[in-house]
C-alpha cells in the first residue's frame, strides 16, 4: 500500500465518522472492487472530508453525484 492510501486510512480512523461510505472507501483503498452504488458512497464520503463535521448535506447540487448523496436534503 502506498503512502497516500496509508495516510487516508489514518485520517479516516482519526477524523472520520461512522457514516455511509466509510466502509466502501476503505474497501476501495484496499484494492477491492466496488459496485457502482458503493463507489458513489465512497466518493461522497471522501469528498465530504469523511463527514468529520457530521452527517450532513454537502450542499453541492452541481456535483454529478449529488442525486445519490446519502445525506442530501429532501427539499432540494
9 is in which domain, residue-wise?
3-68
pTM for the model stands at: 0.86
| Tens-place pLDDT, residues 5-32 | 899 999 999 999 889 999 999 999 999 9
Report residue 19 CA to chain centroid gap: 8
Domain annotation covers residue 73: no
How many domains is the chain partitioned into structurally?
1
Domain annotation covers residue 20: yes
Confidence class of residue 73 from pLDDT cuts 50, 70 and 90?
A: confident
Cα-Cα end-to-end distance for the chain: 39
Confidence class of residue 34 from pLDDT cuts 50, 70 and 90?
A: very high
Domain annotation covers residue 76: no
Domain annotation covers residue 22: yes
How crowded is residue 1: how many other Cβ atoms within 10 Å of its Cβ? 10
Amino acid at each position: 500500500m502506498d503512502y497516500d492510501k496509508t495516510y487516508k486510512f489514518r485520517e479516516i480512523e482519526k477524523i472520520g465518522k461512522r457514516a455511509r461510505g466509510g466502509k466502501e472507501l476503505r474497501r476501495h483503498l484496499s484494492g477491492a472492487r466496488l459496485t457502482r452504488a458503493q463507489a458513489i458512497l465512497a466518493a461522497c464520503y471522501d469528498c465530504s472530508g469523511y463527514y468529520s463535521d457530521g452527517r450532513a448535506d454537502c450542499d453541492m447540487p452541481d456535483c454529478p453525484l449529488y442525486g445519490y448523496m446519502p445525506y442530501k436534503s429532501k427539499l432540494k
